[in-house]
Amino acid sequence: MQKLKKKLYQLSITEISELIKKNQVSSVDIVNSVLNRIEEVDSSIHGYITVDKERALERAQEIDRLIVKLSPDERPPLIGVPIAVKDNICTKGLKTTCASRSLGEFIPPYNATVIQKLLDQGAVIIGKTNLDEFAMGSSTETSCFGPSRNPWNTDYTPGGSSGGSASVIAADEAICAVGSDTGGSIRQPASFCGVVGLKPTYGRVSRFGLVAFASSLDQIGPLTKNVTDCALLLQAISGHDVKDSTSFNIQVPDYRGYLLNDLKGLKIGVPHEYFGEGLDEGVEEKVQQSLSFFQNLGAEIEKVNLPHTEYAVATYYILATAEASSNLARYDGVRYGFREEEFNDLIDMYEKSKQKGFGAEVKRRIMLGTYVLSSGYYDAYYLKAQKVRTLIKKDFEKAFQKIDILLTPTTPIPAFKIGEKINDPLQMYLLDIFTISANLAGIPAISIPCGFSGKGLPIGLQLLADHFQEEKILQAAYAFEQNFDIQKDRPPLNRSENH
Amino acid sequence: MKYETVIGLEVHAQLLTNSKIFCGCSAKFGNPPNSQTCPVCMGYPGVLPVLNEKVLEYAIKASLATNCHINEESRFARKNYFYPDLPKSYQISQYEAPLAEKGFIEITVNEERKKIEITRIHLEEDAGKLVHTEGYVTSNKSFADFNRTGVPLIEIVSEPDLRSSQEAREYVRKLRTILQYLEVCDGNMEEGSLRCDANISLRPVGSKILGTKTELKNLNSFRFIQKALEYEINRQCMVLEAGEKVIQETRLWDPDQNRTFSMRTKEEAHDYRYFPDPDLVPFSIESEMIHQIKAGLPELPEIKIERFIREYEIPRYDAEILASSRELADYFEACAGFSSHYKMIGNWIMGELIRELRNHNRTVANCPVTPEILMGLLKMIDEGIISGKIAKYVFEEMFKTGKSAEQIVKEKNLIQISDQKELEEIIDKIVAENPKVIEDVLSGKKKAMGFLVGKVMKATSGKANPGIVNQILKKKL
């Protein structure tokens, strides 16, 4: 075996795939390496809720037996690759908690379609990652298991809600991960942790088996170490699913074919609404810098307007909470998770179980959602929000008539400290300001690293494209990544004071 | 004061699809509790509903047969409430943009024809069933059976066009017949495949303003529909007469006590927080599909009745009974293929056949007397081989044994005696034995003649041809 510069757990999908094709490494080697890494560092990161050690190893052995039967070209890119799964995506026979007491030790008797696809392509599920309870939050602090930590500085949050998935990628505790994004839950933690995260077009990836938060906004997507891996993982999970009526039956392009180091003629729109008040100076500087990089690569930069941006957060928090209030109504203490043992009657049991089964943020959103759907308020809130959602969609439609992709910061600030914002929900909600619109409009968006803040925390930039044009943002992200090497050190996995 | 009754009905009909509305589970009735469930109908975390196309087809059939307009785009909504028989804590139903709107059916009550408008028909999933009283419930616990969860339903909502309990009953009967004709619902009210709720109010005769309504639930038979409505009309009338106001509320019919009682008032009414279901995209129904379904609709009862009257020249009353089910109508038409004595065929079906079916608890489909066998019997009457009276006995035998009339007549020696000589001998003997009666006949007592005929019949075990007996008697006396 050729001597490697990197440890196995540090490799990307692409690198592993090459080694497996050349029979230079086994899946068991990689899984062992990743499991050891988890053992070594996860106590300081807390990226995982469940590490499925034994079954991952069994599976890796099984995959290794399969690999030898396949010619190198028959081996799919994900074969033998350990993958981390956000714990709101159902895995057959493996506890799926949504980081909520109300779901407790729920063991799904089925796989999410995404999981089935990954397994079909030989991936190895290494474990389930931490998240904000039911994906409601921007820091993993609402998890009933406690927060995950940012590998770049463990005093800081990795973002959320897919904070576990992002942090384990940054800390090399998995080769790649899947998360879910309802208002920025893939992109924001990707940006905070310096990894690549993509929210696909609504309908590109099946939602079957994703525990619903807000059904019209939720979408599963990849979190990876680089853009090529992102394209590979997206390829693996995309496509129509008869089990999900909202998934689209249109051809999935070969994303890898679009990863070209050339952006000649690409028109990039920059919406000025994303560069106003509240934007951290350091973030603005890095994003502006990256713009000139894109120009150097042959892209044309153009200013555009997305006039309804300012209403996105309010619209989102009406629609998402409305849907959530209905989606979460089933966790009543009867079939799953926590049930209050002392009660007077059925309703009392429901109420007490929910009171204690759900955390504060989830309860806040259920109440908000129940309120906006209530008779007498429906028109003023829910219906109006639906109309604004249409306006936001139209903003994008108009913009994409002139330009190919949009470029914005992913978040207004870099990662914040654990505990800093958890008691100020409104401030926390406003952190989603740049990511929410893509969910409302249903368009794809990617976050890629574009530098570091003064404190050494990663900064992300966001690229957005029109419906089902993931290849455009992947292409731009790839070219940027190839030419803009920000990869300084690997994250230190400790607190800044000790650095 | 005189009051006018105003009734609108909500009829829930289970569609006869093999599988449930949003998953592949069987929709069959009567299997062991919870043997027909899956993660989708049980609302497990992360699962999604997918519409069963057959449900749509059946619902469109029902909509077209009730003259409804099918909406171009239709969508599902969630109706949110908490109840142990509802695993998701919401029911997938329709709210805005239902499948179909603005239809009507016609009913006839007291020989008066009336158009009853249908507001809307929408699709929804059924809830589960709570079991409180079955044999296996031994403690004071209740059990939940989710076999019914996700069984497809259509809800047919009428305008408040009904003016009496009789009209309401007739409307449901008519609706049921249509659904059965379409073979989209079996119409079994006992098993709950057809359920009915009623909105009822009274107003002074001549008033155009609707009075305060109550909603009646648990009307699961034709008798209960009528009785509950009659009780409620009476109750509301007494409330109004006493100068009090009717309270807007939901009331439950208690068939044991023959009364309705309050379930919940308006203030306690649920706020269902309806909103479009984001898991199911709006569905549009192409006009081609509608045309296709329309072309495949069977002849509906209304049209069949008119055709029977025209084609077979039978009274409307007969036609309505004969067309009351598709099987019966088909049976009649099969018989009509053998003979043109349509009225007589109808009489036999409406009388003997229906009675025997009821006595033996059978349906037309498993009736031992096929149209061919029945027509064999009618032919024997027609040809004078047996009398009508004997024929009724033969029919009963046919029903019991499935044998042909000819066989039974032969086996039981029931051939009519029409032989002049043979009958004359018998009559001579009777005349000789009853001189007193002969005197009465001659003095004009009509009853006495009947007595003599009866004697002849008795002597021949009913086989004498009554026409010839009369002829001979008249001649002799």
User: How confident is the model at residue A312, as a pLDDT?
Assistant: 96
Q: List, as ranges, residues 181-200 from B with C-beta within 8 Å of A.
A: none
**Å from B289 to nearest chain A CA?**
20
- Write phi, then psi, for A411 (nearest 5 degrees): -135, 155
A73 vs A79: CA distance, rounded Å = 12
Tell me whether A390 touches chain B (CB under 8 Å): no
C-beta atoms of B50 and A335 within 8 A:
no
Scanning every residue of chain B, which has its alpha carbon at the shortest distance from the alpha carbon of A217? B278
Cross-chain CB nearest to A208 (options B47, B51, B273): B47
Q: Within its chain, how far is the Cα of B8 from the centroid?
A: 20
Tokens 């785009």 correspond to B73
Pairing of strands B194-204, B214-217: antiparallel
User: How confident is the model at residue A84, as a pLDDT?
Assistant: 98
Q: List, as ranges, residues 296-335 from A with C-beta within 8 Å of B.
A: 322-323, 325-326, 329-330, 332, 334-335
User: How confident is the model at residue A59, as a pLDDT?
Assistant: 97
Cross-chain CB nearest to B278 (options A108, A215, A243): A215
pLDDT-derived band at B365, boundaries 50, 70, 90: confident
B240 vs B236: CA distance, rounded Å = 6
Let me know if A247 is a catalytic residue.
no
Tell whether the model's pLDDT for residue A498 goes beyond 50.
no
Which position has the higher pLDDT, A355 or B447?
A355
Of the residues A185, A290, A353, A453, which is catalytic? Answer: A185
* Token pair listed for A232: 């590979």
Of the residues A26, A33, A161, A353, which is catalytic? Answer: A161
B178 vs B369: CA distance, rounded Å = 26
B223 vs B178: CA distance, rounded Å = 19
Which among B54, B145, B62, B53 has a CA at the least distance from the CA of B100?
B62
What would the pLDDT profile of A96-119 be if each residue is shown by its tens digit? 999 999 998 899 999 999 999 999
Radius of gyration of chain B (CA): 30
Cβ atoms of A430 and A372 within 8 Å: the answer is no
Let me know if A161 is a catalytic residue.
yes
Provide CB contacts within 8 A for A352, sequence distance 6+. Answer: A333, A340, A342, A343
Tell me whether A477 touches chain B (CB under 8 Å): no
**Average pLDDT rounded to a whole number, residues A456-467:** 97
DSSP-assigned letter for residue A379: I
Scanning every residue of chain A, which has its alpha carbon at the shortest distance from the alpha carbon of B278? A216
What would the pLDDT profile of B51-99 be if each residue is shown by its tens digit? 999 999 999 999 999 999 999 999 999 999 999 999 999 999 999 999 9
Q: How many CB atoms lie within 10 A of CB B209?
A: 7
For chain B, the average pLDDT equals 89
Task: Determine whether A342 is exposed, middle or buried from the number of CB atoms within 10 Å of its CB (0-12, 13-18, 19+).
Answer: exposed
What would the pLDDT profile of A38-96 be if each residue is shown by its tens digit? 999 999 999 999 999 999 999 999 999 999 999 999 999 999 999 999 999 999 999 99
Indicate if the alpha-carbon torsion angle A245, A250, A256, A262 is positive or negative.
negative
A160 vs A213: CA distance, rounded Å = 14
**pLDDT over 90 percentage in chain B:** 57
Which among B128, B122, B153, B157 has a CA at the least distance from the CA of B142?
B128
For chain A, the average pLDDT equals 94
All residues of chain B having their beta carbon less than 8 Å from the beta carbon of residue A375 are 271, 273
C-beta atoms of A375 and B273 within 8 A:
yes
**pLDDT over 70 percentage in chain A:** 98
* Token pair listed for B335: 């018989």
Q: Which of B37, B80, B89 to mutate to test the interface with A (most CBs of A within 10 A)?
A: B89
Let me know if A86 is a catalytic residue.
yes
Which among A499, A488, A432 has a CA at the least distance from the CA of A192?
A432
Tell me whether B130 touches chain A (CB under 8 Å): no
Indicate if the alpha-carbon torsion angle B37, B58, B89, B157 is positive or negative.
negative
* Token pair listed for B473: 């008697």
Cβ atoms of B154 and B123 within 8 Å: the answer is yes
The one-letter code for the residue type at B237 is: C
Q: How many CB atoms lie within 10 A of CB B410?
A: 12
Provide CB contacts within 8 A for B312, sequence distance 6+. Answer: B319, B336, B342, B343, B346
Tell whether the model's pLDDT for residue B414 goes beyond 80.
no
All residues of chain A having their beta carbon less than 8 Å from the beta carbon of residue B56 are none
User: How confident is the model at residue A161, as a pLDDT?
Assistant: 96
User: How confident is the model at residue A435, as a pLDDT?
Assistant: 97
Scanning every residue of chain B, which has its alpha carbon at the shortest distance from the alpha carbon of A90? B46
Q: Does domain A8-307+394-498 have CATH number 3.90.1300.10?
A: yes
Give helix A163-170 / helix A27-45 axis angle, nearest 10°: 110
Q: Picking from A198-207, A420-429, B65-74, B393-402, which range would have the lowest pLDDT averaged per residue? A: B393-402
Tell me whether A109 touches chain B (CB under 8 Å): yes
pLDDT-derived band at B148, boundaries 50, 70, 90: very high
Beta bridge partners of B70: B100
A36 vs A52: CA distance, rounded Å = 13
Tell me whether A104 touches chain B (CB under 8 Å): no
What would the pLDDT profile of B433-464 be if each residue is shown by its tens digit? 877 777 777 777 777 777 877 877 877 777 77
Intra-chain end-to-end CA distance of chain A, in Å: 35
User: How confident is the model at residue A186, as a pLDDT?
Assistant: 98
Scanning every residue of chain B, which has its alpha carbon at the shortest distance from the alpha carbon of A109? B39
Cβ atoms of A462 and A279 within 8 Å: the answer is no
Q: How many CB atoms lie within 10 A of CB B283?
A: 17
**Å from A443 to nearest chain B CA?**
17
Which position has the higher pLDDT, A212 or B132?
A212
DSSP state string for B295-357? HTPPPPHHHHHHHHHHHH---HHHHHHHTSSHHHHHHHHHHHTT-S-HHHHHHHIIIIIHHHH
Which among A233, A151, A261, A193 has a CA at the least distance from the CA of A484?
A261
Tell me whether B267 touches chain A (CB under 8 Å): no
Task: Please report, for residues A330, B181, B234, the alpha-carbon distance to residue B123 in angstroms, rounded to integers and kept in the order given.
Answer: 22, 19, 34
All residues of chain A having their beta carbon less than 8 Å from the beta carbon of residue B87 are 330, 335
* Token pair listed for B14: 């289970």
Of the residues A21, A86, A128, A421, which is catalytic? Answer: A86
C-beta atoms of B273 and A374 within 8 A:
yes
3-state secondary structure of B263: strand
Cross-chain CB nearest to A326 (options B47, B80, B87): B80
User: How confident is the model at residue B137, as a pLDDT?
Assistant: 54
Tell me whether B50 touches chain A (CB under 8 Å): yes
Cross-chain CB nearest to A373 (options B82, B87, B273): B273
Cross-chain CB nearest to B89 (options A103, A322, A332): A332
Tell whether the model's pLDDT for residue B361 goes beyond 90.
no
Q: Is the peptide bond before A161 cis (omega within 30 degrees of 0)?
A: yes
**Average pLDDT rounded to a whole number, residues B362-386:** 84
User: How confident is the model at residue B427, as a pLDDT?
Assistant: 80
Q: What domains can be seen in chain B, in order of their start residue?
A: 3-292 (no CATH), 299-411 (no CATH), 420-476 (1.10.10.410)
If phi > 0 it is left, if psi is from -120 to 50 it is alpha, else beta; for residue A156 that is: beta
Single pTM value for the model: 0.91
Which position has the higher pLDDT, B385 or B350?
B350
A131 vs A186: CA distance, rounded Å = 11
Task: Please report, for residues A92, B225, B296, B317, B405, the alpha-carbon distance to residue B321 in angstroms, rounded to integers and kept in the order given.
Answer: 58, 21, 24, 7, 25
Tell me whether B78 touches chain A (CB under 8 Å): yes
A118 vs A122: CA distance, rounded Å = 7
Intra-chain end-to-end CA distance of chain B, in Å: 68
Tell me whether A103 touches chain B (CB under 8 Å): yes
Query: Domain coordinates of chain A in residue numbers?
Result: 8-307+394-498
What would the pLDDT profile of B182-232 be if each residue is shown by its tens digit? 999 999 998 889 999 999 999 999 999 999 999 998 888 999 999 999 999
Tell me whether A371 touches chain B (CB under 8 Å): no
Tell me whether B80 touches chain A (CB under 8 Å): yes
C-beta atoms of A110 and B44 within 8 A:
yes
Cβ atoms of A64 and A153 within 8 Å: the answer is no
What would the pLDDT profile of A373-400 be if each residue is shown by its tens digit? 999 999 999 999 999 999 999 999 999 9
Tell whether the model's pLDDT for residue A1 goes beyond 60.
no
**Å from B23 to nearest chain A CA?**
9
All residues of chain B having their beta carbon less than 8 Å from the beta carbon of residue A108 are 39, 44-46
- In total, the C-beta contacts within 8 angstroms joining chain A to chain B are 95
3-state secondary structure of A226: coil
Q: Within its chain, how far is the Cα of A375 from the centroid?
A: 35
Q: List, as ranges, residues 268-297 from B with C-beta within 8 Å of A.
A: 271, 273-275, 278-281
DSSP-assigned letter for residue A414: S
- Our CA angle for B142, B143, B149, nearest 5°, is 130
A166 vs A153: CA distance, rounded Å = 14
Cβ atoms of A198 and A234 within 8 Å: the answer is yes
Tell me whether B224 touches chain A (CB under 8 Å): no
What would the pLDDT profile of A120-142 be if each residue is shown by its tens digit? 999 999 999 999 999 999 999 99
User: How confident is the model at residue B399, as a pLDDT?
Assistant: 85
C-beta atoms of A90 and B89 within 8 A:
no
A233 vs A220: CA distance, rounded Å = 11
C-beta atoms of B89 and A329 within 8 A:
yes
Cross-chain CB nearest to B48 (options A98, A103, A243): A243
